[in-house]
Amino acid sequence: MNARFFGSKVGWAGIGNQIVRNWSPNPYGATTAWNPMVMLGLGSPTSAWGGVTVNVQPNPVLAQIAGAIMAGGSGYNPYGRMYANAAAVNVFDGAGPTAIQTLGNARQQQTQMNAAIAQLQSSVLDGSLGTNSQVQQLNLIAGGTVQQLQMQQTMNNLLVSLLEQQTAANMITRNQLADQINTSTRIQNLVTTQPVLWGGDAGSTFTNYRIQ
């Protein structure tokens, strides 16, 4: 009885927006692990990330004085800049593999969801009496809601990954500004504390010097 109130449902048919699969060129072998990871979520995200990033060599000096740098408070340490930059690289090396794993999972999920969405659309467009009972229609609504929740969960994962990467990028900008402030602070301290040396007042020399 419900089906007779519908005309043709063909006009309800839609076409899904397929996610783009960007297969990176691999002339030097660097993206061998990258492509299957970001396309299908296959392989090791750490290996995929390591293949396209510059490796940071261990620094024994930083390893020895790391505790002193962390406990230094507001005091100046000549290795502080290098220590902060190394930490920023470590943050990126954590966020990067997670991001490409999330990307691969999202693409793989859409491939799996396409079949479910196509089946749901086929049932929704079916105008026969057997598929338009109240129970059948409620089941279709429930199935569509579950699919939306699954896709929304994937979108939330992508947003979390983007926020993590943005936070890491903001860290670099923040460190650059802090380093510039520290450089100006050291120059100003020298201006006010340097004693008179040969050839005149060293403070005057710094005062007349302008950073371009």
| Residue with the larger pLDDT of the pair 191 and 35 | 35
Least confident residue range of 10-14, 67-71, 137-141, 197-201? 197-201
Q: Binning pLDDT at 50, 70 and 90, where does residue 5 land?
A: low
How far apart CA 163 and CA 159 sit, in angstroms, is 6
The pLDDT score that the predictor gives to residue 212 is: 44
Q: How far is CA 94 from CA 16, 23, 64, 161, 190, in A?
A: 33, 23, 23, 11, 39
The tokens describing 60, both together, are 């024994």
Q: Binning pLDDT at 50, 70 and 90, where does residue 66 land?
A: confident
Q: Report CA 169 to chain centroid distance, whole Å.
A: 9
CA atoms within 13 A on the CB side of 45: 17
pTM, whole model, 2 decimals?
0.69
Q: Binning pLDDT at 50, 70 and 90, where does residue 201 land?
A: low
**90, pLDDT greater than 50:** yes
When the pLDDT of each residue in the chain is averaged and rounded to a whole number, the result is: 81
Q: Which residue is associated with the tokens 């390591």?
A: 50
